[in-house]
Every structure is written in structure tokens, then in C-alpha cells.
């Protein structure tokens, strides 16, 4: 048989032209690329506009025709932000509250997820359902009862009180998230550690926690970002200037008859930067953490 012999096809079958298939695949690729490019443009344009407004001089923020690139870039909005307001204090408050609440809620969720994943007890399913149901209830629905309870405890306008509320809000989601990671780790690892003399908690912190580091980091970052960006509870529970957080400070740039777009845009850029840096530095851990519990072998 010669090398140029064609493969015999079964009767009634037709061989598709190779060129047409390549053309179809190329067309789909172009359409997919154009769609993703349009979606990326729609997503990034608000961020670009905020950054653009922050670098405009205060007198040119509302000029017409609209400038899509500042003709005279200025840092005056950033200077006004820290000179005429206590924005540095707001940043410090948000960092303290989000960091403590993120670490505390992640640690508690780690313990609760370990118990739910490794032990069988009555009403275990009800606990998980309750955790999931709490994520379906908007936070502002409970503002009235929550404020009354915090006022009775003397924790209104108190960073510790706001941290407690944030911890309570973050624990259910983090517990469900970390439970999936625990179930993906073989039980044989902690059993081997316990045979070697570790207690159950020792096996958790010496063996399981190092294995689950990506998942723990991912849970902490989500908790930190949620606490950093939260607005309603911060506005309701924090009244004084020295305890206000960044989202509440951004809301303060809106008055009855005017909106300080320049200062608000500068504040938004400064607020977004920490979370962007955090995600950029920990992107590898986040991807590993999000995919670690996706498939159970």
C-alpha cells in the first residue's frame, strides 16, 4: 500500500472540509475575544474614570466638554484629602478593624470547620443550613435590632463592638468554605500524627494547617475585604470622627446640595489600592485555595 493511500470511510459518511472547520474555529475565537474585550472595557472604565477624576484639578472636574485625559494633571485632590480631613485616621481605623476581624473570624471558622468536617453529631445538617441561610439575609434588615442590642451593651461607637459584629458576619461563610478544604484532606494525615503522639489539636495545627495554607489565606482575604468595604454597619454603629472607617468617610463627601467628586475619587483610589495590592501579592494562594476544595478524590 502506498503512503498516499486514503483512509476508507464507512458508507454514508461525509468527510468535512478541513478548511471550513478552521474558518469556523477562527470565527468563534474572534467573537469570543471581542466579547471579552468589550466586557473588560465595561468593567475597567469606571475604575479608569475614578482615577482620572482624582488627578484633575478641583476647578476642572466638571468642565465641558468632558476630558478623557487630564490636560493639567494635579495632586490637589489627594493633598486636600489628607490636609482638610482626617482620612489618615479613617484608613487606620479600617485597617485595625478589618485585620483583627479577618484574623479572628478565620481562626474561629477554622476550628468550627474542622469539627463539622471530622465529627458526626446530631443536627450537623441543620447547622450547615443555618450557616447558608445567614448569607441570604441582607445585613440592613437586622440594623434596628442590632443597634438596640449594641446600645444596651455599650458598644455603639466602639471599634471592639464593630469588630464583634464583623466576626459574627464572616464566620458562617468562612466555615462553609474551609469545611470543603478539610474534606479534601485525607483523614490518614491526622491519624498518622496522632499515632506519633500528637493530640487532635496538635495534628490540626502541625499537620493540617500547613497543608491547608492556601485555603486559609483565601478565607482571610475574603473576610478582610468584606470588612474593609462594609458600609451600612459602619455608618450605623460609628458616630464620632475618630472611630469612623473608610466607607463611612466616603459617604461623608456627599452633602445635601453638593458632591465633592475630586476628593471622593481620590479617597476611592486610596481605598482600592490596599485590596488590589493584597490580591496581587496573594493571587497564587487565592487560586490554590479556591480550587483546593473543588474536587474531592
What pLDDT digit, counting tens, does each position of 189-232 carry? 888 888 888 888 888 888 888 888 888 888 899 899 999 988 88
Q: Residue 33, SS3?
A: helix
Q: Pick the closest to residue 224 from 47, 94, 77 (CA basis).
A: 94
Q: Residue 231 belongs to what H/E stretch?
A: none
Name residues whose C-beta falls within 8 Å of residue 112's C-beta, 6 or more positions apart in sequence.
Answer: 171, 175
Cα-to-chain-centroid distance, residue 34: 27
Q: What local confidence, expressed as pLDDT, does residue 249 receive? A: 82
Q: Which of 108-112, 132-136, 183-187 has the highest mean pLDDT?
A: 108-112
Q: Looking at beta carbons, which pairs linking 87-92 to residues 24 or more positions away fall under 8 Å? A: 87/246, 87/249, 87/267, 87/270, 89/241, 89/242, 89/244, 90/244, 90/245, 90/246, 90/248, 90/249, 91/246, 91/270, 91/271
pTM beyond 0.85: no
Cell of 124: 450537623
Q: What local confidence, expressed as pLDDT, does residue 288 receive? A: 62
Instruction: Give yes or no for residue 32 having a pLDDT over 70.
Output: yes
Residue 156's φ and ψ, nearest 5 degrees, are -75, 140
Categorize the per-residue pLDDT at 118 as very low, low, confident or very high, splitting at 50, 70 and 90.
confident
Can you tell me the distance from the alpha carbon of 188 to that of 206, in angstroms, rounded to the nearest whole number? 14
Average pLDDT of the chain? 81
Which residues are paired to 86 by β-bridges? none
* More confident position, 294 or 31: 31
Q: What local confidence, expressed as pLDDT, does residue 195 receive? A: 87
**Are the CB atoms for 98 and 227 separated by under 8 Å?**
yes
Q: In a 10 Å sphere around its CB, with 0-12 CB exposed, 13-18 middle and 19+ buried, how is residue 296 labelled? A: exposed
Mean of pLDDT values over 79-88: 82
Residue 18's φ and ψ, nearest 5 degrees, are -65, -40
Instruction: Give yes or no for residue 94 having a pLDDT over 60.
Output: yes
Categorize the per-residue pLDDT at 54 as very low, low, confident or very high, splitting at 50, 70 and 90.
confident
Mean of pLDDT values over 63-85: 79
Cell of 36: 471579552
Q: Residues 220, 285, 167, CA angle at the centre, nearest 5°? A: 5
Residue 166, CB-side half-sphere exposure with 13 Å CA sphere = 32
Mean of pLDDT values over 141-150: 86
* More confident position, 194 or 71: 194
Instruction: Give yes or no for residue 242 having a pLDDT over 80.
Output: yes
Can you tell me the distance from the alpha carbon of 72 to that of 92, in angstroms, rounded to the nearest whole number? 31
Cell of 57: 484639578
Q: Residue 259, SS3?
A: strand
Amino acid at each position: 500500500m502506498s503512503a498516499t493511500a486514503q483512509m476508507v470511510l464507512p458508507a454514508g459518511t461525509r468527510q468535512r472540509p478541513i478548511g471550513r472547520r478552521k474558518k469556523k474555529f477562527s470565527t468563534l475565537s474572534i467573537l469570543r475575544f471581542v466579547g471579552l474585550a468589550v466586557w473588560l472595557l465595561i468593567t475597567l472604565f469606571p475604575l479608569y474614570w475614578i482615577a482620572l477624576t482624582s488627578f484633575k484639578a478641583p476647578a476642572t472636574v466638571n468642565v465641558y466638554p468632558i476630558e478623557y485625559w487630564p490636560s493639567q494633571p494635579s495632586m490637589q485632590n489627594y493633598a486636600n484629602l489628607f490636609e482638610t480631613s482626617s482620612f489618615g485616621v479613617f484608613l487606620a481605623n479600617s485597617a485595625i478593624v478589618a485585620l483583627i476581624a479577618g484574623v479572628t473570624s478565620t481562626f474561629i471558622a477554622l476550628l468550627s470547620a474542622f469539627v463539622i468536617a471530622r465529627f458526626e453529631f446530631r443536627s450537623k445538617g441543620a447547622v450547615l443550613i443555618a450557616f447558608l441561610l445567614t448569607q441570604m439575609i441582607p445585613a440592613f434588615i437586622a440594623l434596628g435590632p442590632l443597634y438596640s442590642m449594641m446600645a444596651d451593651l455599650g458598644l455603639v461607637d466602639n471599634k471592639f463592638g464593630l469588630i464583634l459584629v464583623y466576626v459574627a458576619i464572616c464566620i458562617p461563610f468562612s466555615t462553609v468554605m474551609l469545611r470543603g478544604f478539610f474534606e479534601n484532606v485525607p483523614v490518614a494525615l491526622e491519624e498518622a500524627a496522632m499515632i506519633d503522639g500528637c493530640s487532635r489539636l496538635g495534628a490540626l495545627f502541625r499537620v493540617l494547617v500547613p497543608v491547608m495554607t492556601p485555603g486559609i489565606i483565601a478565607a482571610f482575604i475574603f473576610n478582610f475585604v468584606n470588612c474593609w468595604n462594609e458600609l451600612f454597619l459602619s455608618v450605623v454603629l460609628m458616630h464620632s470622627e475618630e472611630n469612623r472607617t473608610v466607607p463611612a468617610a466616603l459617604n461623608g463627601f456627599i452633602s445635601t446640595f453638593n458632591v465633592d467628586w475630586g476628593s471622593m475619587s481620590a479617597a476611592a483610589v486610596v481605598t482600592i489600592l490596599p485590596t488590589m495590592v493584597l490580591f496581587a501579592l496573594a493571587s497564587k494562594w487565592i487560586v490554590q485555595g479556591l480550587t483546593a476544595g473543588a474536587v474531592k478524590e
